[in-house]
């Protein structure tokens, strides 16, 4: 996957920062870039690469404050209080559980044996705390996928089996909360649950949060060809969810995530990013973004993926519009699949700025 990103980035750099060739109905037209060397993301108020936050997809000051308190003091109470006050039926609780678990996983990776002691204390001192149980289960899932020696290894399976038990214990502590079941969806993918067992788990999610976008993303992964399904099954799942989505739901963007999940299979198709399949998926995602509540916690996830597709499709102005909303936080697909999320994001951002200015755009023409 990293090789694929590298090749994509190199190809885009050649296309954007070299001679500017654009296809038009009458043939090829050379577009003079003006001063491509002067195309500077900082002119648009964008955050410097080294200051980009790779932990979260979008701003959440309460989460940042709680993380700072937990990591600064080594105590877990601030995390527990934040989760206790976060409604269980929304997307934000799942995101915050992921963020605390990710912070603990990163600490442990940086300080083997001594990192994330606050999470251990949380589980020992407050065994019945639903938030702590959920963070612990998600932490185990992230450990399995990041640090366990690779998919299919004995360590990977052992940690996922422990995570499955942790998910089920967490579910008992918070009846009605979908988060433990959503976390187990990643376990189902890694342990290759049979479809009937997966369907039973998915039913538990739908009973509690039928429109949960994060849950649908986790379920989509299970149905992808690289795991237990096929491209057709993943597309069918995504389109069915989009079709039944109510007005204002981000589920209309799910087909774009299905396209992304199968990029290694189709990325070499000529004019892939201008194809009907990708165009329809992008239009669905753009519609979802425009009709969703602007405080929807999952909105940033969709915007980030749109940046990737819009830049690849050379739709510079639309890419800049998405960047205007999400710049600063890059903890989302596709950047999170890179070994250096901030660098990958910065490359695409620079391409968008260069393309925008080469076609007449400037800081003055970008809406604020």
Beta bridge partners of 23: 28
Chain segment 150-166, per-residue pLDDT in tens = 677 888 899 999 999 99
Cis peptide before 193 (omega within 30 of 0): no
What mean pLDDT is predicted for residues 38-59?
89
**Burial degree of 293 (CB within 10 A; 0-12, 13-18, 19+):** exposed
Instruction: Name the residue ranges covered by the structural domains of the chain.
Output: 61-211
Residue 267: per-residue pLDDT? 53
Closest by CA to 212, choosing from 189, 235, 246, 255, is 246
Beta bridge partners of 21: 30
Distance CA 331, CA 335 (A): 7
Secondary structure (DSSP) of 155-190:
HHHHHHHHHHHHHHHHHHHSTT-SHHHHHHHHHHHH
Residues 205, 208, 212, CA angle at the centre, nearest 5°?
65
CATH among 1.10.10, 1.10.3470, 1.20.1740, 1.25.40 for 61-211: 1.25.40
Burial environment of residue 53 by CB neighbours within 10 A (0 to 12, 13 to 18, 19 or more): middle
The CA-based dihedral angle spanning residues 23, 28, 33, 36, taken in that order and rounded to the nearest 10 degrees: 70
CA distance 206 to 184: 14
Q: Report residue 62 as tokens.
A: 């309460």
Tell me the C-alpha distance between 211 and 205, whole Å: 10
Percent of the chain with pLDDT over 90: 72
Query: Percentages helix, strand, coil for the chain, rounded to the nearest 5?
Result: 65, 5, 30
CA distance 323 to 43: 13
Coil/strand/helix, residue 91: helix
Q: Is pLDDT above 80 for 15? A: no
Report pLDDT digits (tens) over 300-343.
Answer: 999 999 999 999 999 999 999 999 999 999 999 999 989 899 99
Residue-level pLDDT at 7: 44
**289: helix, coil or strand?**
helix
Query: What is the tens place of the pLDDT at every residue in 210-235?
Result: 999 999 999 999 998 777 778 899 99
Average pLDDT, the chain: 87
């Amino acid at each position: 996957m990293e090789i694929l990103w590298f090749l994509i980035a190199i190809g885009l750099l050649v296309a954007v920062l070299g001679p500017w060739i654009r296809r038009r109905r009458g043939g090829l037209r050379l577009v003079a870039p003006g001063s491509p060397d002067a195309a500077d993301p900082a002119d648009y108020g964008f955050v410097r690469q080294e200051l980009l936050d790779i932990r979260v997809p979008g701003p959440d000051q309460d989460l940042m404050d709680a993380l700072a308190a937990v990591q600064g003091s080594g105590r877990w109470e601030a995390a527990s209080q934040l989760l206790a006050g976060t409604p269980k039926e929304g997307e934000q609780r799942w995101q915050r559980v992921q963020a605390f678990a990710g912070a603990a996983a990163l600490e442990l990776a940086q300080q083997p044996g001594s990192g994330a002691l606050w999470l251990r204390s949380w589980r020992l001192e407050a065994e019945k705390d639903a938030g702590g149980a959920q963070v612990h289960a998600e932490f185990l899932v992230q450990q399995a996928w990041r640090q366990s020696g690779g998919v299919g290894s004995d360590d990977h399976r052992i940690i996922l089996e422990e995570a499955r038990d942790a998910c089920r214990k967490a579910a008992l502590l918070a009846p009605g909360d979908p988060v433990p079941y959503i976390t187990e969806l990643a376990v189902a993918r890694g342990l290759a649950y049979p479809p009937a067992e997966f369907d039973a788990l998915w039913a538990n999610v739908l009973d509690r949060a039928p429109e949960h976008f994060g849950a649908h993303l986790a379920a989509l992964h299970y149905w992808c060809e690289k795991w237990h399904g096929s491209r057709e099954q993943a597309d069918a799942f995504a389109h069915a969810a989009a079709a039944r989505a109510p007005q204002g739901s981000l589920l209309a963007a799910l087909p774009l995530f299905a396209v992304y999940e199968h990029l290694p299979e189709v990325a070499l198709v000529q004019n892939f990013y201008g194809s009907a399949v990708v165009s329809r998926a992008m239009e669905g995602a753009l519609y979802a973004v425009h009709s969703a509540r602007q405080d929807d916690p999952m909105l940033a996830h969709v915007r980030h993926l749109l940046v990737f597709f819009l830049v690849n499709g050379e739709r510079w102005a639309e890419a800049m519009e998405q960047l205007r909303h999400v710049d600063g936080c890059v903890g989302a697909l596709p950047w999170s699949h890179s070994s250096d999320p901030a660098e990958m994001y910065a490359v695409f951002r620079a391409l968008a700025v260069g393309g925008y200015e080469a076609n007449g755009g400037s800081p003055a023409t970008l809406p604020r």
